[in-house]
Amino acid sequence: MTSWKDMLPVVGTAMHVLAALVFSIIFVIPWIQLKLAQLGRIPGPIFWLPLIGETPQLLQSPFKYMWNRWLSYGGFFRTSLLGQQVYVVGTQDILRSVWSDEEAFEFHVPGKTFSMLITDIRHMREPRQHGFFRRRLGQALSPAAIAANLLGPMAAVMRRHLDSWEQRGRVFLSHASEELSMDVALEVVTGHPLPSSPDDKALVRRLFRTVLNGLYGLPIVLPGTAIYKALGARRQLMTKLWPLVEAEATEVAARVRGGKEEEVNEGAEEGEGEGKDATLPGIVIAGGCGEDAEASPRAPTLRRRRRMVAGAGGDGNDIGVAPMRMLEAQVSSVLAGGEELSAILTPEQLFERALGTVIAVDETSRHLFFASVAAVALAPEVRAKLEDEQRQALGKYGDELSYSVLGDMPYLDAVIKETLRLLPVSIGGFRIAKRDVQLRSGFVIPRGAVVYWSTHLAHCCDPVLLPRNPAPEPGRKNLFGSWFRSLLGPRSLGPAGAAARQGTRRGMSVGVFDTAEARRTLARSIEGPTGLPAHLDFQVRFEEAFRPERWLNEETRPKQWAAFGGGGHLCLGQHVAMVEAKLLLAMLLRRFEFRLEDSGVLRKASLFPGPTPRRGTDGLLLISRPL
Ligand code: HEM
């Protein structure tokens, strides 16, 4: 029989193994990460949690996370998100290259849940298909097409919802926005055929919502998980909608190929589709990074004319049909390749295209509706100015809320842009580096790296929103801190660091605040008690942060506004988004006195996946009155 004394060596060995394990977790792994970080020559944190990396900090408070990272590393750094090394970018010079250099950066959708629900994104990734896709969809979503095809039905859907809000007198804003955006997406913008019976329609809405909820869960397919339910709902939707989508797609295909006579909008012709230069007077849409397109002198030509619809000839690009809705645009963009629809897309892939359009519209609009109404409700001075503007519009145009009337509301326009700056609806986008890319700052993004361009980072360090580069404060140098930072910061970065320093000396922009010291000095002078500067502090200093007036003056207008992205993947729905938010606010202001029951709703809200209140805190009271 073994006595406890015989066991001692075994216990001792186990203790040694345990101690070695603890030691390596505490010291060795971070040390290896530090070495890798230095090898990578890109600034960034050296400690992060295994598997999840810095994802929790980012999701919990994107502004706080990005602000702190910017203070330490500037507008370009390396981190780990969902267990993957990611290069985060957010300053003008680098953003431009990531957005526009499609030779170097390929569109990427991270996260397994998305690819489980939408398996085919060739039309976003392959240059030829993407070209057709942008062109056709751009036409369907151009200002002229919106004015002619979408605005009337959109106003009708909104009126129906506002009637119901009026009857109830109180709604939960987030839920009400969700219902409204689903109806706008399904009944107006996407143009998907829907079943005719009301019960089936309601079921389709519920199924779409279940699919969308699956996007944000873990990719674990077990009964009860969000993705499990989403995949089930997707199958059901496919059974319900596929015959309708197929019939619609076949009909469009026949029309395109047959060259039938068709009514089209002149204004929706080629060239007005690309959001970059298609705007209407008063509706200025940023092309990313403050590159606001000038208001076009060309108002949409809404004269309708009859013309022959050409077949897909030549390079297949000249289809000639001005698509009326997104699905139609998708189908014709596939046909533009000169191939048969069925040869390129399986029923499932075509169905996924339909699903993708609902995601693009609904997932963004619901957050924008919630955020813009909440922001106005929480800022009485802003609301008073908006009401004045609406009174003037009523005096000038009567009840009309056409595209051009909405275009003549500069303050409302500024309110929506400021909402999208302070409460971004999109967190940004992802790319894969197709080759080593040397940045002007000297840093190199290695081939195969995942690049994340972040809306929040861009908005954090917009030079227009920061005071001028302050001189370092004498006597406040923390020697140990500087030494430690110098280990990690650009100074230690070998050739890349040297290039960066040289770039700074030559006056090239490495960000407005080129050194961590300058950024920290800045932080000491502008951070409030929450550790954020006023221009980001939507939770505690809302009225100081939310200042639509900054959009009305060229000097104060944000220059790094990235709400809709930029370059080759600039949001194709930006005109739709601006118009729907303006329409909703204009209609609300004209009909109701409204206020949020809980003035702390944003304090308790989160910004992921878009502005989302804590459950039950977003009661909105509505009292009807004429303006
Ligand atoms: C507030 C509302 C919206 C915001 C903030 C928003 C934001 C964005 C952003 C940031 C991108 C670029 C993603 C990237 O570069 O990786 C994008 C792309 C896109 N958006 Fe939007 N979006 C909004 C509404 C809409 C709507 C209403 C539609 C459709 C009607 C739409 C359709 C699209 C499409 C099709 C693309 C892909 C463009 C391409 O890859 O070429 N978006 N959106």
Q: Give the position, in ligand 1's atom list, of the atom nearest the Cα of 562.
A: 10
CB burial class (10 A; 0-12, 13-18, 19+) of residue 211? buried
CA-nearest residue, atom 16 of ligand 1:
429
Three-state SS at 223: coil
Predicted pLDDT at 181: 97
User: What do you get for the CA distance between the two ends of the chain, in Å?
Assistant: 94
| Alpha helices (H) in 24-126, listed in sequence order | 29-40, 55-60, 62-73, 92-100, 112-117, 122-125
pLDDT for position 352: 87
Tell me, using a 6 A CB cutoff, whether residue 572 lines ligand 1: yes
pLDDT digits (tens, 9 = 90+) for 104-132: 999 999 888 999 999 888 889 988 889 98
What is the Cα–Cα distance from 241 to 353, expressed in whole angstroms?
13
Domains of the chain, CATH where assigned = 57-119+428-480+510-545 (3.30.43.20), 123-420+566-591 (1.10.630.10)
Residues lower than pLDDT 70 in the chain: 1-5, 8, 31-41, 256-324, 337-344, 468-512
**Cβ within 8 Å of residue 535, ≥6 positions away:** 422, 462, 465, 545
Instruction: Report the pLDDT value the prediction gives residue 27, as an integer from 0 to 100.
Output: 73
Task: Give the whole-number percent of the chain exceeding pLDDT 70.
Answer: 77
Q: Is 500 exposed, middle or buried (0-12, 13-18, 19+ CB in 10 A)?
A: buried
Q: Is 571 in the pocket of ligand 1 (CB under 6 A)?
A: yes
- Tell me the sheet residues that pair with 438: 444
Cβ of 426 closer than 6 Å to ligand 1, yes or no, is: yes
pLDDT at 459: 98
Tell me which residue has its CA closest to atom 19 in ligand 1: 571
Binding site listing for heme? 571
Q: What is the 3-state secondary structure (H, E, C) of 542-603?
A: HHHHCCHHHHHCCCCCCCCCCCCCCHHHCCCCHHHHHHHHHHHHHHHHHHEEEEECCCCCCC
Element containing residue 166 per DSSP (H, E): helix 151-168
Digit-coded pLDDT (tens) for 293-331: 333 333 332 223 223 233 333 333 333 444 557 777 877
pLDDT at 337: 66
Which atom of ligand 1 lies closest to the CA of 107?
Answer: 16
Between the alpha carbon of residue 418 and those of residues 382, 455, 480, the distances in Å are 11, 13, 40
Tell me the binding residues. 571
What pLDDT is attached to residue 441?
Answer: 77
365 lines ligand 1 (CB under 6 A): yes
Q: Which of 587, 601, 596 lies closest to 620, judged by CA?
A: 596
Residues ≥6 apart with Cβ < 8 Å to 344: 334, 337
Total Cβ atoms within 10 A of residue 32:
12
Supply the residue whose CA is at minimum distance from atom 30 of ligand 1. 573
Q: Is 74 exposed, middle or buried (0-12, 13-18, 19+ CB in 10 A)?
A: buried
- β-pairing verdict for 450-454 and 84-89: parallel
pLDDT of residue 399: 94
Nearest to 353 by CA among 246, 197, 480: 246
**Furthest-apart CA pair in the chain: how many Å?**
101
Ligand 1 pocket check for 75: Cβ under 6 Å: no
Q: Does 590 sit in the ligand 1 pocket, CB within 6 Å?
A: no
Angle of CA points 163, 169, 171, to nearest 5°: 90
Query: Tens digit of pLDDT for each residue in 363-388?
Result: 999 999 999 999 999 999 999 999 99
Give the distance (Å) from ligand 1 centre to CA of residue 275: 11
Which of 571, 576, 582, 585 is the best mutation target for the ligand 1 pocket, counting ligand atoms within 8 Å of the beta carbon and taking the most? 571
Residue nearest to atom 36 of ligand 1 (CA): 571
53: left (phi over 0), alpha (psi -120 to 50) or beta: left
Distance CA 466, CA 67 (A): 12
Q: pLDDT at position 34, please?
A: 63
Confirm or reject: Cβ of 191 under 6 Å from ligand 1. no
